Amino acid sequence: MYLKSLVSVLSSAVSFSVFAQAENKKIDLFASAGYSFTNNLKAKIDNSGTQKLDSSANFGGELSLSALYSLPSLGLVTPVIGGGLHSAYITNKIKEDKLKMFWASAEANAGLKFNPVASLQVFTLANLGYAGISKISSDTDNSRLKNHYYYGATVIGTVPLTDAVSIGGSVSYNRHSAKFKDADVSLSYNQFTTALVLQYSI
């Protein structure tokens, strides 16, 4: 009888633990709109040396939709994985020429979620992205880019408005590299973005 009771208690405890763990698994959906700027724009032509382009007024905007899935908690932090869709439009002025860049990308994310205080949720993420649509144009030319990849990091902070909805902001850095489709020219540059974020948790 005692053995049966012990087994029953242990079984209930395990079931409760699994249920609680499942309850803690959340999907966080994010929509964001922000301001981007670029620097350190470099071009490499015909396998020659890399040339840094003297550009100014490097600014634009970025829109994104993403989702993160919370894995079982590790105590103070919770691992998260996910991904999203991003689009950006940036203008660069190089001497008298205006350079316009547009890309739409898919991005994978992995990182940690934690609550430094009860009313603040913070996500620290590593980013890896690929832009399937990537264009660059100037006053005299229009070109498509290929092999447009980037990597970087993002920090998101949100505060709750309701049980499911939160609002906050994000800061991200990504290092881009791409090649022209119709010329032996490679580009690389840094992108920095600050954005307003709306979060919905389910």
Per-residue pLDDT of 166-188, as tens digits, reads 999 999 999 999 999 888 888 89
**Tokens 């970025």 label which residue?**
62
CB 172 within 8 A of CB 154: yes
- In angstroms, the CA 112 to CA 77 distance is 6
- In angstroms, the CA 40 to CA 52 distance is 7
Distances from the Cα of 181 to the Cα of 43, 53, 134, 185, 186, angstroms? 14, 20, 10, 9, 10
Q: Between residues 152 and 15, which one has the greater pLDDT?
A: 152
Q: Is the pLDDT of residue 1 over 50?
A: no
Mean pLDDT for the stretch of residues 113-120: 91
Beta strands, E only, the chain? 27-45, 50-52, 55-70, 77-94, 97-117, 120-137, 142-160, 165-180, 185-201
Residue-wise pLDDT for 55-79, tens only, equals 656 899 999 999 999 999 998 999 9
As a whole-number percent, the residues of the chain with pLDDT over 90 amount to 59
Note the pTM of the prediction, 2 decimals: 0.82
- What pLDDT shows up at residue 6? 31
As a whole-number percent, the residues of the chain with pLDDT over 70 amount to 81
- What pLDDT shows up at residue 105? 98
pLDDT range class, residue 54, cuts 50, 70, 90: low
pLDDT range class, residue 53, cuts 50, 70, 90: low
Q: Which domains does the chain have, with CATH numbers?
A: 27-201 (2.40.128.100)
Burial grade of 143 (CB within 10 A; 0-12, 13-18, 19 or more): middle
Mean residue pLDDT of the chain comes to: 84
